[in-house]
């Protein structure tokens, strides 16, 4: 594949024909610094780090209509039925020119993480919140797309999120403060980024009540570097609180999140500052400065 | 699921019915410390960190007979055929009591990472090495099993590896030194661990020439805490060098690796030192001490 990235390669980037990337050297250190920077931002709130599995129970996801809303995005974790003859049949010719020749699959119950924050809502199922709860989590996320481009649009990519669960006022307050903080970081990094309302990529959007609701009352805002969304701020209202029986003041909790796409930040930073590491900004120091200002104000 | 772990839960551990775990608080910090400790050990060599994708090309894996040797372990990353009618059919009833009701799949070409080091050999395909090359990499690995237990045996788990590619003398020298270094870390941590020859879990082992070769000439040694392997040292001879045309002195390179299982270390450390974080050792400091001694000697 010829990458759409028609510019000198940043030091430490290699890509595979399927658009997935290998990071090493300076670019790997920049990736680690970005994640550390977002963790510094998360420290603006008492955000508890949580480390979640690679996959999610399909039934739990469908409780919020995930499979019917986004069937085209889902990646399923599939294994072969372990019956001896089934495995034996598979091994006679595991591959042909179209790819893997699967034989009978074992029951499929897991979807590879579509967004880091889903785990948080499922994990806190049944909780009665006595105050707003803040969580930060990072995961490898999987989204099928019609085409892939290294760093810009990958089947598998990394995402960190800062999540708030609470009442509507607590969550909208968090989202406003998070938007301001992320905007301040963009300014500190001199990254030209604009916010705009956006919608999730629903299947058959015009037939989806959820898509229509999003169009009427925007609940998703994306921060775009040129044409590329590198962060988003999302208000889920009580969708997750309702589905997973998370309550606040005895009613379904509201949830919201701010999400950062790791590979896309690498694209934006190396596009803005060039492929040579010497020109890259200290993103952790920038995050510390804007967070200190936000905490003091 | 009732976990096999019949002991008080370490602080920060939660598990799901499928045996996968959520880490937070002290246990998440211990996990981060373990990974940092192994990275300190990797610093004993000029090991370059590499960050690899979540999945591997099935054809590249089959070049070393992976699919025919381990069909029962593989997890495939599967998406639905994106044809509108196929997705539409899926959404009419995505789930039943047996799990996800998949409709037609898109061609399957990727296997979720079975071991972190496979990526390294594929990535360095075609290289003519001018000296030994050392790499360290960490990934989430996927292995189907007949049953799962939190921390001890998970479908998805984390693994860090230190890899050497070179001639046979360079690689066996690395493996000896790595075995000594890891043994010194166990001693420093007062973890009772024994090394023993082991074999990979081949499908139909008695019909597999590779299994028989491993039995005749052990190339895998596992370090077990009680009944649980928590690290392994592996000599692949020129299997990967030959398959991926990596050469040293004009001949297929030899490769070897030392591998650490993150969740299993958490099991071992919390079993040895109890569930209370106050009793846990400083694994990073221990790794620094043994690495300093190894470098000086």
Kindly write down the DSSP assignment for every residue of chain B, as one continuous string: ---S--SPPPTTEEE-TTS-EEEEHHHHHHHHHHHHHHHHHHTTTTPEEEE--SEEEHHHHHTTTHHHH-TTT--EEE-B---HHHHHHHHH--EETTEE---SBPPP-EEE-SSTTHHHHHHTTT-EESS-EEEEEEEEEE---SS-BTTTB-SEEEEEEEEEEE-HHHHHHHHHHHHHHHHHHHHHTT--EEEEEE----SSGGG-HHHHHHHHS--EEEEEETTEEEEEEEEEETHHHHHTT-EETTEEPEEEEEEEEHHHHHHHHHHHH-S-GGG---HHHHHHHHHHHHHH-
Question: What are the backbone angles phi and psi of residue A236, rounded to the nearest 5°?
Answer: -95, 5
Q: Evaluate whether ipTM surpasses 0.90.
A: yes
Considering only CB atoms, B55 lies closest to which of A49, A53, A156, namely A156
Alpha-carbon distance of A66 to A176, in angstroms, equals 26
Nearest Cα neighbor of A277 from A2, A38, A4, A8 is: A8
A193 three-state secondary structure: strand
A96-132 residue pLDDT tens: 999 999 999 999 999 999 999 999 999 999 999 999 9
CA angle B167, B172, B166 (to 5 degrees): 25
Angle between helices A168-188 and A283-296 (to 10 degrees): 130
Q: What is the pLDDT of residue A3?
A: 47
Half-sphere exposure of A18 (CA within 13 A, CB side): 20
C-beta atoms of A156 and B68 within 8 A: no
Q: Does residue A2 carry a pLDDT above 60?
A: no
Whole-angstrom distance, CA of residue A166 vs CA of residue A130: 9
Residue in A100, A120, A148 to test binding to B, most B beta-carbons within 10 Å: A100
Question: What pLDDT digit, counting tens, does each position of A218-266 carry?
Answer: 899 999 999 999 999 999 999 999 999 999 999 999 999 999 999 999 9
pLDDT at A84 over 80: yes
Do B72 and A55 count as a contact with CB atoms less than 8 A apart? no
Residue numbers in B near A75 (CB within 8 A): 77-79
Read off the pLDDT of residues A17-56 as tens digits, 9 standing for 90 and up: 888 999 999 999 999 999 999 999 999 999 999 999 999 9
Nearest to A71 among B59, B80, B112 (CB): B80
Find where tokens 């969550």 sit: A171
Q: How many C-beta neighbours within 10 Å does residue B70 have? A: 21
Tokens of B13: 């551990």
Smallest CA–CA distance, residue B287 to chain A, in Å, is 22
Instruction: Residue B122: count other Cβ atoms within 10 Å of its Cβ.
Output: 21
Summarize the confidence of residues A173-194 as an average pLDDT: 98
Choose from B19, B21, B22, B56 for mutation: most chain A CBs within 10 A. B22
Whether residue B94 and residue A59 make contact (CB cut-off 8 A), yes or no, is no
Mean pLDDT of A261-276: 97
Question: Least CA distance to B139: which residue of chain A?
Answer: A140
Distance CA A11, CA B83 (A): 39
DSSP labels, A115-149: STTHHHHHHTTT-EESS-EEEEEEEEEE---SS-B
Q: Which of B32, B54, B87, B89 is best to mutate for the A interface (most A CBs within 10 A)?
A: B54
Helix (H, G, I), strand (E, B) or coil at A254: strand
For residue A134, is pLDDT > 90? yes
In tens digits, chain B (297 residues) has pLDDT values of 444 445 677 888 998 888 899 999 999 999 999 999 999 999 999 999 999 999 999 999 999 999 999 999 999 999 999 999 999 999 999 999 999 999 999 999 999 999 999 999 999 999 999 999 999 999 999 999 999 999 999 999 999 999 999 999 999 999 999 999 999 999 999 999 999 999 999 999 988 888 888 888 889 999 999 999 999 999 999 999 999 999 999 999 999 999 999 999 999 999 999 999 999 999 999 999 999 999 887
Contact present, B151 and B13 (Cβ < 8 Å): yes
As a whole number of angstroms, the distance between CA B93 and CA B127 comes to: 49
B99 vs A14, A25, A58: nearest CB: A58
Higher pLDDT: A283 or A297? It is A283
Answer yes or no: do A100 and B22 touch at CB < 8 A: no
Q: Return the number of other C-beta atoms located less than 10 Å from residue A231's C-beta.
A: 27
Interchain CB distance below 8 Å, B99 and A108: yes
**pLDDT, averaged across chain A:** 95
Between CA B191 and CA B189 the distance in angstroms is 5
Cβ <8 Å between B22 and A119: yes
Give the pLDDT confidence score for residue A10 in this predicted structure: 86
Nearest to A95 among B23, B62, B100 (CB): B62
pTM of structure: 0.95
Burial, B84: exposed, middle or buried (Cβ in 10 Å; 0-12, 13-18, 19+)? exposed
A-B CB pairs within 8 A amount to 185
Closest-CA distance, A93 to chain B, in angstroms, reads 8
pLDDT at B3: 47
Mutation choice for B interface testing from A10, A78, A203 by most B CBs within 10 A: A78
Q: Strand locations in chain A, DSSP E?
A: 13-15, 21-24, 48-51, 55-57, 76-78, 95-96, 99-100, 110-112, 128-129, 133-142, 156-166, 193-198, 220-225, 228-235, 247-248, 251-252, 254-261
B51 and A23 in contact by Cβ < 8 A?
Answer: yes
* Identity of the residue in B24, B54, B156 whose CB atom sits nearest the CB atom of A156: B54
Write down the pLDDT at residue A75: 98
Is residue A5 pLDDT above 70, yes or no? no
pLDDT band at A7 (very low <50, low <70, confident <90, very high): low
> Is the Cβ pair B21, A53 closer than 8 Å?
yes
> Smallest CA–CA separation between B229 and chain A, in Å?
21
* Chain A closest-CA separation from residue B33 CA (Å): 14
Which residues of chain B have a CB within 8 Å of the CB of A93? none
Q: For testing the chain B interface, which of A75, A125, A133, A141 should be mutated: the one with the most B CBs within 10 Å?
A: A75
The two tokens of residue B137 are: 């990499």
For residue B135, the cross-strand partners are B48, B163
Which of B71, B108, B155 has its CB closest to that of A99? B108
């Amino acid at each position: 594949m010829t990458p759409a990235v028609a510019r000198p390669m940043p030091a430490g980037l290699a890509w595979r024909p399927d658009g997935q990337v290998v990071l090493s050297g300076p670019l790997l250190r920049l990736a680690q610094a970005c994640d550390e920077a977002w963790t510094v931002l998360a420290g603006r709130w008492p955000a508890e780090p949580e480390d979640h599995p690679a996959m999610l129970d399909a039934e739990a996801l469908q409780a919020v209509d995930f499979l019917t809303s986004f069937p085209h995005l889902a990646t399923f974790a599939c294994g072969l039925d372990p019956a001896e003859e089934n495995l034996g049949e598979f091994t006679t010719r595991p591959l042909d020119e179209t790819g893997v020749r699967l034989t009978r699959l074992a029951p499929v119950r897991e979807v590879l993480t579509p967004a880091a924050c889903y785990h948080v809502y499922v994990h806190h199922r049944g909780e009665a919140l006595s105050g707003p709860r803040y969580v930060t989590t990072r995961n490898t996320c999987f989204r099928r797309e019609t085409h892939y481009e290294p760093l810009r649009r990958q089947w598998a990519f990394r995402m960190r999120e800062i999540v708030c669960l609470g009442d509507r006022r607590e969550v909208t307050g968090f989202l406003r403060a998070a938007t301001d903080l992320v905007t301040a970081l963009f300014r500190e990094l001199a990254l030209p980024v604009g916010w705009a309302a956006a919608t999730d990529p629903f299947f058959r959007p015009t037939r989806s009540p959820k898509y229509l609701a999003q169009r009427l009352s925007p609940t998703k805002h994306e921060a775009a570097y040129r044409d590329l969304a590198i962060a988003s701020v999302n208000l889920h209202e009580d969708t997750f609180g309702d589905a997973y029986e998370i309550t606040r003041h005895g009613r379904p909790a509201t949830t919201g999140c701010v999400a950062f796409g790791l590979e896309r930040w690498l694209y934006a930073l190396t596009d803005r500052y060039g492929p040579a590491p010497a020109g890259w900004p200290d993103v952790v120091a920038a995050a510390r400065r804007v967070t200190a200002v936000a905490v003091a104000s």
